[in-house]
Amino acid sequence: MINEVKQDAENRMKKSIEALGNAFAKIRTGRAHPSILNGVMVSYYGADTPLSQLANINVEDARTLAVVPWEKPMVPEIEKAIMKADLGLNPSTNGDKIRVPMPALTEETRKNYIKQARAEAETARVSVRNARRDANSDIKDLLKEKELTEDDARRAEDEVQKITNKFIAQVDADLVKKEADLMEI
């Protein structure tokens, strides 16, 4: 019973860390990385389709992405979708290839991205704490139903807290790494 509660809490906390990783991937640093375009949706014959399913996305050099669509008529649609994605990117088309240069980050944009990264990290921390709260609530319910003793409940809550501390430390470490990436020139 207790193991199920702890396992459920740990799974939810892992999902919070994964969500944080996805959020950090969307915050661009000065370097070109294909994951920057992960959230771009292209209108493909009336249906919104992820860009990664319509084209190859490669790093041409440190500051340029190359997007090669599998169907040539999709080039203008993909270009429009990248512009609409509000990523601050201006793609340029060269026949059947789209180049996406990464603009250099100014000090102000770096600070704004750091604020955004900190907000995402705080959201992840809150999510981890919510998983802890739910697990502790389940443990208290089991205690009320007399399915476990007070000592077992206290031990289980301590174990859930240790799991929580581990995941909060992971969030903090990820944030420090992202901030270092953003401040790197």
**Per-residue pLDDT tens for 126-175?**
999 999 999 999 999 988 988 888 888 899 999 999 999 999 999 999 99
Could you tell me the domains of the chain?
2-26+106-183 (1.10.132.20), 34-101 (3.30.1360.40)
CA distances from 39 to 137, 140, 163, 185 (A): 36, 40, 31, 25
134: left (phi over 0), alpha (psi -120 to 50) or beta: alpha
pLDDT of residue 184 exceeding 80: no
* Count of all residues that appear for the chain in the document: 185
Which residue type does 3 have? N
Residues 6+ apart with CB under 8 A from 11: none
* pLDDT per position as a tens digit, 94-119: 888 888 888 777 888 888 888 989 99
